[in-house]
Amino acid sequence: MALMTDFKTEYSNYVKIVNDTLAGYLQFDDGPGSNIYNAMKYSLTAGGKRLRPVLAISVCDMLGGSRQDVLPFACALEMIHTYSLIHDDLPAMDNDDYRRGMPTNHKVFGEAMAILAGDALLNKAYEIMISHMLKRGEHTKAFAKAMDVIASNAGADGMIRGQTIDMESEGRTISGQTLEYMHRCKTGALIKASVLAGASIGNATSSEYDSLAKYADCIGLAFQIKDDIMDVKSSLEQMGKQAGSDAASNKTTYVTMFGLDKAEQLLDESVESAAAALECFGNRAAFLRELAFYIRDRKN
- Burial of residue 166 (CB within 10 Å: 0-12, 13-18, 19+) is buried
Tell me what pLDDT residue 235 has: 56
- CA separation for the pair 126, 237 (Å, rounded): 34
Kindly give, in sequence order, each residue whose CB lies less than 8 Å from that of residue 205, ignoring residues fewer than 6 positions away.
none
Tell me what pLDDT residue 30 has: 84
Residues in the chain with pLDDT values less than 50:
1-2, 236
- Which DSSP symbol is given to 98? E
Cross-strand partners of 137: none
- Which DSSP symbol is given to 139? G
Tell me what pLDDT residue 242 has: 54
Tell me what pLDDT residue 299 has: 85
- CA separation for the pair 6, 243 (Å, rounded): 31
Dump pLDDT digits (tens) for 95-119: 999 998 899 999 999 999 999 999 9
The rounded Cα 181 to chain-centroid distance in angstroms is 17
Instruction: Tell me the one-letter amino acid at 59.
Output: V
CATH class of 7-297: mainly alpha
Angle, helices 67-88 vs 35-44, to 10°: value is: 100
Q: What is the pTM of this model?
A: 0.92
